[in-house]
């Protein structure tokens, strides 16, 4: 059985010891010489969804508050899967695309703090556009085919986010049954209609 590639990435990340100590951006701010560069804390996603928008706590997801197995912060590349060298990505098929294609760096909090413009932390929607829309960075919405299956999946925004978000929460639930991470069918734990 083929494991979810995101978890394979996470496993590899753990294996090479790439997990960095939970680093609070506020901490690195004081020592920075230039204007502070921080990643967004809470991002409003699914603004176009009839079922309601999603408040995604980016900071808790990558600052170390949330962990997959209590061992350390979630790596940036667990979600930003194109933000590392193509040779590394090739180890986790069906993933293969690096962005930019010739990049030599891997996205981390440190890299982003040092070189926000060059770190290549692109928004998912720049590639995983809504059905019918052309993505900003690619000619077309990405498609993927999993080994052992003939199905070609078109990774529009809904597919890309649901697979990443609910996919990880499902894995977390296996080891931490009390986790609050919403799984696939818990729609309204993510999507909230404006009051
Ligand atoms: C883990 C959180 C989560 C859960 C659970 C979840 N969603 Fe989503 N959903 C999202 C996110 C994030 C997006 C991405 C939207 C974007 O492009 O910003 C999304 C996108 C969508 C879209 C596409 C919106 C558009 O752009 O037109 C639909 C429709 C949708 N979800 C319906 C559902 C339904 C129905 C369920 C339950 C069966 C569900 N979602 C469960 C987080 C979630
Ligand atoms: C759990 C998943 C997840 C993790 C882990 C994560 N991010 Fe994100 N990040 C997102 C999502 C989702 C967005 C919003 C994308 C969108 O709007 O399409 C985002 C957006 C961003 C943006 C804004 C991009 C833009 O152009 O709007 C930056 C910068 C960023 N992340 C950097 C980082 C860095 C640096 C790390 C590691 C320290 C990290 N992220 C870890 C999911 C994650
Ligand atoms: C530069 C373009 C680009 C960006 C940015 C990007 N993706 Fe992707 N994504 C792709 C492509 C292309 C594929 C198809 C596989 C490949 O070529 O690596 C893919 C595949 C996927 C898959 C399928 C993985 C599988 O094993 O089936 C998921 C889920 C996904 N992306 C989620 C995300 C999320 C969430 C973000 C933002 C945090 C994101 N992507 C950012 C281009 C992108
Ligand atoms: C790599 C793993 C991972 C990914 C990917 C991930 N999450 Fe989570 N998420 C967690 C964990 C772990 C928790 C559990 C927090 C707890 O129970 O203490 C959580 C909790 C949550 C919660 C409940 C608590 C809160 O912050 O409101 C929501 C909502 C949520 N995640 C939304 C999302 C969305 C939306 C995405 C995709 C953009 C996403 N998550 C992607 C690991 C992940």
Ligand 2 site, residue 43, Cβ cutoff 6 A: yes
What is the rounded CA–CA span in Å between residue 18 and residue 28? 19
In a domain, 174, yes or no: yes
pLDDT (tens place) for every residue of the chain, 195 residues total: 445 565 555 544 444 433 333 333 333 333 334 444 678 899 999 999 999 999 999 999 998 999 988 788 999 999 999 999 999 999 999 999 999 999 999 999 999 999 999 999 999 999 999 999 999 999 999 999 999 999 999 999 999 999 999 999 999 999 899 999 999 999 999 999 987
In a domain, 89, yes or no: yes
Longest CA pairwise span in the chain (Å): 52
In a domain, 181, yes or no: yes
In a domain, 101, yes or no: yes
pLDDT at 57: 97
Q: Give the CA distances from residue 94 to residues 36, 73, 102, 110, 149, in Å, rounded to whole numbers and listed in that order.
A: 36, 25, 19, 28, 12
How many domains does the structure of the chain reveal? Answer: 1
In a domain, 34, yes or no: no
**Number of Cα atoms under 13 Å in the Cβ half of residue 178:** 0
Ligand 1 site, residue 185, Cβ cutoff 6 A: yes
In a domain, 45, yes or no: yes
Instruction: Check which CATH number belongs to the domain holding 139 and give it.
Output: 3.90.10
Global pTM value: 0.90
pLDDT at 95: 97
Of the ligands numbered here, which is closest to the C-alpha atom of 22? 2
pLDDT at 70: 78
In a domain, 102, yes or no: yes
* Test site for ligand 3: of 139, 144, 151, 170, most ligand atoms within 8 A of the Cβ: 144
What is the rounded CA–CA span in Å between residue 39 and residue 37? 7
Of the ligands numbered here, which is closest to the C-alpha atom of 49? 1
In a domain, 35, yes or no: no
Give 123 Cα–ligand 2 centroid separation in angstroms: 7
Residue numbers of the domain that contains 117: 5-29+40-192
């Amino acid at each position: 059985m083929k494991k979810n590639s995101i978890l394979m990435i996470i496993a590899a990340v753990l294996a090479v010891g790439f997990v960095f100590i939970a680093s609070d951006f506020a901490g690195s701010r004081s020592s920075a010489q230039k204007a502070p560069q921080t990643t967004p804390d809470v991002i409003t996603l699914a603004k176009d969804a009839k079922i309601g928008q999603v408040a995604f706590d980016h900071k808790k997801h990558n600052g170390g508050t949330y962990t997959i197995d209590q061992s350390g912060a979630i790596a940036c590349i667990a979600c930003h899967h194109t933000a590392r060298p193509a040779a590394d990505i090739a180890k986790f098929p069906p993933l293969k695309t690096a962005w930019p294609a010739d990049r030599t760096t891997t996205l981390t909090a440190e890299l982003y703090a040092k070189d926000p413009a060059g770190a290549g932390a692109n928004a998912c929607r720049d590639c995983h556009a809504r059905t019918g829309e052309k993505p900003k960075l690619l000619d077309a919405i990405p498609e993927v085919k999993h080994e052992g299956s003939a199905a070609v999946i078109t990774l529009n925004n809904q597919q890309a986010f649901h697979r990443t978000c609910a996919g990880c929460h499902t894995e977390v639930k296996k080891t931490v049954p009390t986790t609050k991470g919403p799984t696939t069918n818990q729609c309204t734990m993510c999507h909230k209609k404006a009051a």
